[in-house]
C-alpha cells in the first residue's frame, strides 16, 4: 500500500488513536489541535505537530478532520489559515469524521467540489481503543473514484468499512440513526441496572445475565461494566451523545418522523449536560438513574 502523508486535525480521543494507528503503519503523520498537550501526545506517538490547518495541509495528501462539531469543521476547513487555503486541486483529499448534520456535510462537500478538492464522508464508531487497533467502523460516502483511490487507507483505519454510496450526507444520516439507538440503549441500560439494585439484585450478576440474554446491547454492556467497576475516566463525554441524539431528533422532525423513544433519550442526555455532567464519561447515566426519585 502507498504510504500517504496524512494529517489529523483534532487529536482528541479518536483523533489521537487514528494518528497513532497510522504512524504505526508507516505513514508520515501530521497533527493539529488547539490544545498543545494533545499535540504533544500525538508527537509522542510518532506524529509531527503543525501550527495551523493550512500548514498541515501543505504537508499532506489526505487531511482527516476529527474535531467535534460542524462549527469546528467550518473553522478548520474554511477559516483563517484553514485547509481550503492550502489544498491542492486534484491532489488533496479531505476526510470528514465528526458526527454532524447531513446538511452540514452537503454544504462542506459542495464547497470543496467548487475547489476541485476530493472529499470522503466517514463518521466513525467504536471508541478510541478500537480506533487504535484499526477495528472501529467507518460509514463512508464519497464518489466511487475517490473511494477506489483511498480504499486501502480506509481499511487501515477501520474494519469494517461500510460503503454507503456517493451522496454527501448519507454517512451522517446513518451515524445519527445508529447513535439515536445507542442513546436509547444506554439510557435503558442505566435505568434497568438502577432498577435491579432497587429490588435487591447484585448489579454485576444482573449485567452478566443481560450480556448473555435478550436485553444485551454493546453500549449498555460496555458503559455499565465501567460504571460498576468505578472506572470513571472519560472515553466518551456525555456531551457527544447529547449532541448526536439531538441532531438525530432534529433530522427525524425534518423528515416528518415521530421518534418518541429517541426524543426521551435525547432529553435524558440534555438533562445530564444541564446538570453539569457533560464532561463526564457517559457511563455516568447509571449514577443519574440511581438518583432519580420515584
For 36-91, the pLDDT digits (tens) are: 999 999 999 999 999 999 999 999 999 999 999 999 999 999 999 999 999 999 99
Question: Which of 2, 175, 243, 292 does the annotation list as catalytic?
Answer: 175
Span 173-214, pLDDT tens digits = 999 999 999 999 999 999 999 999 999 999 999 999 999 999
Q: What ranges do the domains of the chain cover?
A: 5-168, 173-291
Q: Report the relative pairing of strands 158-165 and 136-141 from DSSP bridges.
A: parallel
- According to DSSP H, which parts of the chain are helical? 13-24, 36-44, 53-58, 70-78, 102-114, 128-133, 144-157, 170-198, 203-211, 218-228, 238-254, 260-272, 285-291
- Going by pLDDT thresholds of 50, 70 and 90, the confidence category of residue 4 is confident
Residue 213 CA neighbour count, 13 Å, CB half: 7
Does residue 147 contact residue 121 with C-beta atoms inside 8 Å?
A: no
Question: What per-residue confidence (pLDDT) applies to 134?
Answer: 97
**CATH number 3.40.50.720 is the correct assignment for the domain at 5-168:** yes
pLDDT surpassing 60 at residue 137:
yes
Identify whether the C-beta of residue 101 lies closer than 8 Å to the C-beta of residue 172.
yes
* Residue 175 annotated in active site: yes
pLDDT tier for residue 2 given thresholds of 50, 70 and 90:
low
Spatial contact of 201 and 228, defined as CB atoms under 8 Å apart: no
Name the CATH topology of 173-291: 1.10.1040
Amino acid at each position: 500500500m502507498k504510504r500517504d502523508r496524512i494529517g489529523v486535525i483534532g487529536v482528541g480521543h479518536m483523533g489521537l488513536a487514528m494518528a497513532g494507528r497510522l504512524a504505526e503503519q508507516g505513514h508520515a503523520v501530521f497533527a493539529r489541535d488547539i490544545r498543545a498537550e494533545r499535540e504533544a501526545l500525538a508527537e509522542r506517538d510518532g506524529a509531527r505537530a503543525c501550527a495551523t490547518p493550512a500548514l498541515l495541509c501543505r504537508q499532506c495528501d489526505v487531511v482527516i478532520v476529527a474535531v467535534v462539531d460542524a462549527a469546528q469543521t467550518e473553522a478548520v476547513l474554511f477559516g483563517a489559515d484553514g485547509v481550503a487555503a492550502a489544498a491542492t486541486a486534484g491532489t488533496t483529499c479531505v476526510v470528514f469524521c465528526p458526527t454532524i448534520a447531513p446538511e452540514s456535510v452537503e454544504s462542506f462537500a459542495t464547497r470543496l467540489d467548487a475547489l476541485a478538492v476530493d472529499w470522503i464522508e466517514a463518521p466513525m464508531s467504536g471508541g478510541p481503543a478500537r480506533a487504535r487497533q484499526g477495528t472501529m467502523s467507518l460509514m463512508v460516502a464519497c464518489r466511487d473514484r475517490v473511494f477506489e483511490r483511498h480504499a486501502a487507507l480506509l481499511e487501515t483505519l477501520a474494519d469494517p468499512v461500510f460503503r454507503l454510496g456517493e451522496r454527501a450526507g448519507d454517512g451522517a444520516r446513518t451515524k445519527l440513526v445508529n447513535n439515536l439507538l445507542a442513546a436509547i440503549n444506554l439510557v435503558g441500560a442505566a435505568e434497568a441496572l438502577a432498577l435491579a439494585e432497587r429490588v435487591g439484585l447484585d448489579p454485576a450478576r444482573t449485567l452478566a445475565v443481560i450480556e448473555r440474554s435478550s436485553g444485551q446491547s454493546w453500549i449498555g454492556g460496555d458503559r455499565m461494566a465501567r460504571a460498576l467497576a468505578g472506572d470513571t475516566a472519560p472515553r466518551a463525554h456525555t456531551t457527544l451523545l447529547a449532541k448526536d441524539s439531538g441532531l438525530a431528533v432534529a433530522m427525524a422532525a425534518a423528515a416528518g418522523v415521530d421518534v418518541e423513544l429517541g426524543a426521551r433519550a435525547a432529553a435524558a442526555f440534555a438533562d445530564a449536560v444541564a446538570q453539569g455532567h457533560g464532561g463526564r464519561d457517559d457511563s455516568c447515566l447509571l449514577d443519574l438513574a440511581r438518583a432519580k426519585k420515584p
